[in-house]
Chain A
Amino acid sequence: MKVYTHYTVASLSNTYLIGPDHGGEAILVDPGSFDGRLLELIEGNKYYLSHILITHVEENHVSGLKTLKKIYDAEIHAAGTRQLYSFPCAPVQSGQTVKLGEFDVEAIGVPAHTRDSLMYRIGHMIFAGDVFSAGVVGDVPNPYARALLVETVREQLHDFPPHTVIFPCHGPPTTWAIERASNPDITSSAGDEGAQASL
């Protein structure tokens, strides 16, 4: 399994291309944009784009769909919507595991950043979207949502092996071990205090 990062300067966000070692059916996570470099990444590695995973529906996660869908007949997977830019979406629910190409993809619901926020687990890797990134939990509208997000992340990832690699939409990759040791939001009880303050 190979993972490639494509960086969108306009939205400072990462798109991830996941495929087998030697070409074949590939998956794209959160196409925030489409440009020649992404096309080169797909074609240069002998991939055919079969599936597109959306962690949540925001412009900087889906803008690339408009061009991508003109080139590839890829199936879009997202929660909370059945249509994006007039393209049909396969609905995804938290806890669901689907076979996409040669990969088993598990959807993990973390409704706090947005109501439809999902993370996707493929093997020992998690594609976290905006749920959290290295050292920081995601952007949320109020302290209660922040506490909910921190608690949900702790619960959902609690049993994952420490070497689980996390690929966020913004910023560098990380591991669950690093987050447990050094993410101030996850290590402290700040989230809980925020919830109590707001209640």
Chain B
Amino acid sequence: MFPSTTCRHNGCGRIALSNSDWCSEHLPDVEAHYAWLKSHLEATHVFIDLDVAGLTLSDLDLSGKEFRTSRFSGTRFSNCNFANATFYMCFFDGSVHCGTRFTSTEMQNCVFGCAQLIKCDFSGSNIIQMNFNGSTCEQTSFSDSDLLHSRFIASSLTDVDFVNCNLKEVLYRDSIRTRVNFKYSNDEDAHFDLPEVVR
């Protein structure tokens, strides 16, 4: 699991970034850290315990890479490509995505809680037991995906496609859904109302 070394800044309780003793807010040399990160992301195929929380990642092609127990909490993504990537127990909580491509990905036990997903594409993916609770999704597609046991509790979904998806045991309790398309999906196997049967 990602290390829990805290930032060296006095009184800061945040977790330090990978290859650093500081969190994103207290990085002493931001440019040097981004330079290291860029070369690390390009050179490495399998990432374990990577921590880039709170950083901004733009125009990166990370397709086909594998991320395990990595932390992207509060990270801002702009025009990044994760097509065909694999994610296992990664934390994207509070992250902001604009135009991120997650097409044909394998995702399991990952957390996108309270994230903002704008114009993102998860189509053709296995999105198993994922946490999207409290997230905001706009103009985003999950079509042709298996979302078994994933949760969108208290999320805001606008112009979101779940076309031809497996929605077995997907929880949408308390979600606000505007122009959400469930065509060809088994939405009868998802749960929209209280009381929820969790098991």
| Chain A residues close to B by CB (< 8 Å) | 1-3, 5, 7, 11-13, 60, 123-125, 130, 133-136, 138-139, 161, 163, 165, 170-175, 177-178, 181-184
Given contacts A2-B69, A172-B149, contact A135 B154 (CB under 8 A): yes
B residues near A138, Cβ cutoff 8 Å: 198
Q: CA of A81 to CA of B175 in the docked complex: distance in angstroms?
A: 41
A sample of 8 more A-B contacts (CB under 8 A), given A130-B199, A172-B130, is A13-B199, A124-B4, A135-B173, A170-B199, A171-B131, A171-B198, A174-B131, A182-B113
Q: CA of A177 to CA of B150 in the docked complex: distance in angstroms?
A: 19
Shortest B37–chain A CB gap in Å is 20
Q: CA of A2 to CA of B171 in the docked complex: distance in angstroms?
A: 28
Residue of B whose beta carbon sits closest to that of A123? B4
Given contacts A139-B199, A181-B134, contact A3 B153 (CB under 8 A): no
Interface string of B73-95 (1 = CB under 8 A from A): 10000000000000001010110
Residue of A whose beta carbon sits closest to that of B4? A124
| Chain B residues close to A by CB (< 8 Å) | 1, 4, 13-15, 69, 73, 89, 91, 93-94, 109-111, 113-114, 129-131, 133-134, 149-151, 153-155, 169, 171, 173-174, 196, 198-199
B89 lies within 8 A of A182 (CB):
no
Shortest B153–chain A CB gap in Å is 3
B residues near A123, Cβ cutoff 8 Å: 4
**Candidates A130, A135, A175; contact of B153 at CB < 8 Å:** A135
Q: CA of A171 to CA of B73 in the docked complex: distance in angstroms?
A: 20
Shortest A198–chain B CB gap in Å is 15
Q: CA of A123 to CA of B155 in the docked complex: distance in angstroms?
A: 29
A171 lies within 8 A of B149 (CB):
yes
Q: CA of A175 to CA of B4 in the docked complex: distance in angstroms?
A: 14
Q: CA of A16 to CA of B174 in the docked complex: distance in angstroms?
A: 29
Residue of A whose beta carbon sits closest to that of B48? A2
B133 lies within 8 A of A174 (CB):
yes
Q: CA of A177 to CA of B114 in the docked complex: distance in angstroms?
A: 9
Residue of A whose beta carbon sits closest to that of B199? A170
Q: CA of A2 to CA of B2 in the docked complex: distance in angstroms?
A: 8
Candidate in B73, B130, B131, B198 with the most chain A CB atoms within 10 angstroms: B198
B residues near A178, Cβ cutoff 8 Å: 93, 111, 113-114, 131, 133-134
